[in-house]
Amino acid sequence: MKTLMTCLFLLFVIACNNRNKNKNRYTETSEEMVLSEKEKNATFSEENLEPDKEKTKAIKREQLTNKGVEPIDNEYKVVVKELYKEHDHYILDYRYPYIDEEKNPGFSVFNTYIKEVYLDIKKTENQILEDKELLCDTLKIERLRDKRILDCKVHTANRNLLSIVLYRENYYFGMKSSIYTFDCLNFDIKKDQFMYYQDLFRNESEEALFLIINTTISNAIREGELYYDCWELSEGDFKAYKNNFVINKEAIEFYFDDCVICPSYTGTYAVKIPISTIQHLIKKDEDILLFR
């Protein structure tokens, strides 16, 4: 069954990468790109895709990660820890959030979740080696190593809420590009627990929010803010990703994996909705949005 699921996943990746055969794609490189401040802040556009694929990929990664981390307050802080491991078959390069537990032992709920879900190195190693077995490399030809990259971006860190997007960049040997997936974590500082869609939004709000997200996508495509190759969100994908949001003072941003709303090469993975637009869908007694 594992072999079948892995095959299906690889077929999905190939189909996604072939969605737009005539478009330029970025390629994997082992060299780090050095960007100027102008390039870091550049708007991702189709013109950028043509002349320099590697620089385009570096801009895309820089925009995703924005490594600034805000302090929660004078007592509690978020730090970013690193884990790096090289093996004959793979490279693991992780940056992940950690909350200081000294002042509040309840933060162990968050740290334990990160450890169990994202830092199970043995499980990751087994998955990589299982995938390589599918290549049937009986000739033992030397192959490029797979890469697993984990990074994080803190969207909100205040007395009420810690809101973080974790992005994973997986490079599989034989693929022309990396595959990006996203997990959004919202942790209630006061209650020491994770917050999900049903904790923030009113009951029976899904249909209205689904319509708002698709209207936002359609308007962005029509006005040239999104690529014309992007498309509206399906109802099934909305249900699958409705918990994948981060919150800041002005907006709630929903994140989607590669090929859910846009082709991979566009670098577009999120839809930002102003809080004022969806205020009527948020529970009135929810004070998590009081940024103080």
Domain that includes residue 218, residue range: 196-292
Q: Are residues 181 and 205 in the same domain?
A: no
CB atoms within 10 A of CB 126: 12
Q: Are residues 79 and 189 in the same domain?
A: yes
Q: Which helix (H) or strand (E) holds 157?
A: strand 146-157
Domain at 204, CATH number: 3.90.640.20
The pTM assigned to this predicted structure is: 0.76
Who contacts 66 (Cβ-Cβ below 8 Å, separation ≥6)? Answer: 153
Q: Are residues 247 and 135 in the same domain?
A: no
Which of the listed residues 172, 195, 218 is the one where a domain comes to its end?
195
Which of the listed residues 195, 216, 242 is the one where a domain comes to its end?
195
**Does some domain include residue 258?**
yes
Which of the listed residues 145, 161, 195 is the one where a domain comes to its end?
195
Determine the Cα–Cα distance for residues 16 and 48; give it in Å rounded to an integer. Answer: 21
Percentage of the chain surpassing pLDDT 90?
42
The residue among 62, 124, 68 whose CA lies nearest residue 93 is 124
Q: Are residues 268 and 200 in the same domain?
A: yes
pLDDT digits (tens, 9 = 90+) for 268-283: 899 999 999 999 999 9
Determine the Cα–Cα distance for residues 49 and 58; give it in Å rounded to an integer. Answer: 11
pLDDT digits (tens, 9 = 90+) for 71-89: 555 566 788 999 999 988 8
Query: Structure tokens of 4?
Result: 């079948």
Q: Are residues 77 and 164 in the same domain?
A: yes
